[in-house]
């Protein structure tokens, strides 16, 4: 027998709570991180982190619309804006994932003594590449949303979606023609996230065997530890959702549960705390070793 869906009202309360926590804590986290980075030297890694901050910022700007909708249960704005807000959570997830991969790969290349490959990609190149990518994203994504996203199907009640529809974020039926793409993307994210996490864990083990109790005071160990936290965030926030998503693609009636699990991926907005909490983490490590 199929599992009964969660009560509609209970799901909405859950979503309001999740997005409220993400909005508040994410805003504080980004503010603190921007303050901490203002005097930091520019590097390829810091450029990637700034891109990550920008991705979080764009998404957080759309969160109040989600909170309001789930609180009042009615969408009063246009269907175009509904599709835009709906797509932003996916854009945020995929951009965050791509930036995590870039940061982790740069750390892996550095560890395996391939500094020439990393240093050849100069800071100015990283900045130019970032600007170009964001121009493409900020132009192509809205165009794609307005002309194709959430069109050509029916809503959860089997009716054609119109500008007067008072519901939002109900686009499960529209994925019928994109199942293969969704399966491929979900499988890729799961495999890459787990692989990078295992590689990062192996690096930490190697460094710990090398430094033993002095590990917490070593700069390279600290850098790889931050990367490991990024990998864990990627696994915790993204992998469970994409495992469920592969099941959800064949059970579109579980759209409400999908929305709840999708909202949990947004807790990756707190990833900046891995930088802010570094010194605290080191002190805790030293205290535990004494």
DSSP assignment string, 192-224? HHHHHHHHHHHHHHHHHHHHGGGGGG-HHHHHH
Contact of 279 with 34, CB cutoff 8 Å: no
Show the tokens assigned to 224.
């790889």
Residue 187: pLDDT band by 50, 70, 90 thresholds? very high
- Look at residue 6 and tell me whether its pLDDT is greater than 50: no
pLDDT at 134: 85
DSSP assignment string, 11-33? HHHHHHHHHHHHHHHHHHHHHHH
Show the tokens assigned to 107.
């750390």
Nearest to 66 by CA among 263, 216, 223: 263
Mean pLDDT, residues 156-161 taken together: 45
Residue 276: pLDDT band by 50, 70, 90 thresholds? low
pLDDT at 279: 47
Mean pLDDT, residues 233-257 taken together: 91
Residue 283: pLDDT band by 50, 70, 90 thresholds? very low
% of the chain residues with pLDDT over 90:
33
Residue 156: pLDDT band by 50, 70, 90 thresholds? very low
Q: Select, from the ranges 97-101, 122-126, 131-135, 210-214, the one with the highest average predicted confidence (pLDDT).
A: 97-101
How much is the pTM?
Answer: 0.81
In the CATH hierarchy, which fold is given to the domain comprising 8-289? Rhopdopsin 7-helix transmembrane proteins (1.20.1070)
- Measured distance CA(261)–CA(267) in Å, rounded: 11
């Amino acid at each position: 027998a199929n599992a009964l869906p969660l009560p509609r009202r209970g799901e909405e309360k859950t979503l309001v709570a999740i997005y409220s926590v993400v909005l508040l804590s994410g805003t504080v986290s980004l503010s603190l991180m921007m303050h901490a980075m203002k005097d930091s030297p520019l590097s390829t890694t810091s450029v990637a982190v700034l891109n990550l901050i920008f991705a979080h910022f764009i998404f957080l700007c759309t969160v109040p619309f989600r909170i309001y909708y789930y609180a009042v249960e009615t969408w009063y704005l246009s269907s175009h804006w509904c599709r835009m807000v709906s797509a932003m959570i996916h854009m945020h997830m995929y951009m965050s994932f791509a930036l995590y991969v870039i940061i982790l790969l740069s750390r892996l290349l550095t560890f395996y003594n391939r500094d020439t490959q990393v240093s050849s990609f100069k800071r100015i190149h990283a900045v130019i590449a970032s600007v170009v990518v964001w121009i493409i994203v900020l132009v192509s994504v809205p165009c794609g949303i307005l002309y194709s996203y959430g069109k050509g199907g029916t809503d959860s009640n089997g009716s054609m979606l119109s500008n007067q529809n008072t519901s939002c974020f109900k686009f499960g039926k529209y994925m019928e023609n994109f199942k293969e793409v969704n399966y491929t993307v979900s499988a890729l994210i799961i495999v890459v996230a787990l692989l990078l996490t295992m590689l990062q864990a192996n690096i930490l083990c190697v460094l710990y065997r090398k430094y033993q109790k002095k590990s917490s005071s070593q700069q390279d160990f600290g850098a790889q530890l931050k990367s490991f936290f990024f990998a864990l965030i990627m696994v915790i926030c993204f992998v469970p959702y994409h495992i469920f998503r592969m099941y959800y693609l064949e059970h579109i009636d579980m759209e409400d549960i999908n929305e709840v699990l999708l909202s949990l991926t947004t807790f990756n907005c707190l990833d900046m705390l891995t930088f802010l909490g570094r010194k605290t983490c080191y002190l805790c490590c030293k205290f535990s070793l004494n």
